[in-house]
Amino acid sequence: MSERPEQQDDDRMEFLLTLRRRGISDPAVLRAMDEVPRARFVEPAFTKRAYADQALPIDCGQTISQPYVVAYMTEKLALRPHDRVLEVGTGSGYQAAVLSRLAREVVSIERYRTLAEEARARLQSLGYHNVDVIVGDGLAGAPSRAPFERIIVTAAAAELPQALIDQLADDGVMVLPLGPHGGSQHIIKLTKSQTGISREDLIAVRFVPLLPGQAKEL
């Protein structure tokens, strides 16, 4: 049985209040989080928990990140309307949908064909036409589409991915979780300038690992 519309409205209000209480303050990010219907990006069995501040399982052993982490990473990107964004790890397409409300174009790479096809269809049906979902190796990025003003990685890299850094535009920003699977992971913000890369270590997190190559079985 689906939730009553009134309950869904209450859940979404609490969802936004939770983001504000946890420190998300950028009005554009909060508006994007409000506009994107998270319930459309979770598995049907988890619809009632769509607006809870927790990660949820999706196909292929992956997850949809908790709303606070989505909002936090988006805020740290400091997106501008003209930016082209590379997202590594499409998943259900939720993070890409949020990014699409704030940037000119989003190129999203997913190693699992099943997830990529489902996300592409979902995003198109919801009207997020400035997102291009491609199947490929996220660690390789999309060199033919580079450079990107912003890059976001939604799985934990064991070390800084040089191929992605190379695809970052001058004065570009990349936000990613860094650390070993099952070990200490933190969100890292990298800013590229003519003099090199500056690094800022942010909050502790737990993400699925960023794996090389395109998945062959799914």
Tell me the DSSP string of 199-211: EEEEEEE---B--
* pLDDT(181) > 90: no
Tens of pLDDT, residues 19-74: 999 999 999 999 999 999 999 999 999 999 999 999 999 999 899 999 999 999 99
Strand ordering across the sheet containing 84-88? 131-135, 105-110, 84-88, 148-153, 168-178, 185-193, 196-205
Q: Residue 217 pLDDT > 60, yes or no?
A: no
Catalytic residues: 65
**pTM attached to this predicted model:** 0.93
- 201 pLDDT band (50/70/90 cuts)? very high
CA distance 141 to 210: 12
Neighbours of 18 (CB within 10 A): 17
Half-sphere exposure of 209 (CA within 13 A, CB side): 11
* Stretch among 108-112, 200-204, 210-214 having the lowest mean pLDDT: 210-214
Rg of the chain over all Cα atoms, to the nearest angstrom:
16
**AA identity, residue 95:** Q
Q: How large a percentage of the chain has pLDDT more than 90?
A: 84
- Given a cut of 60, whether residue 148 has pLDDT beyond it is yes
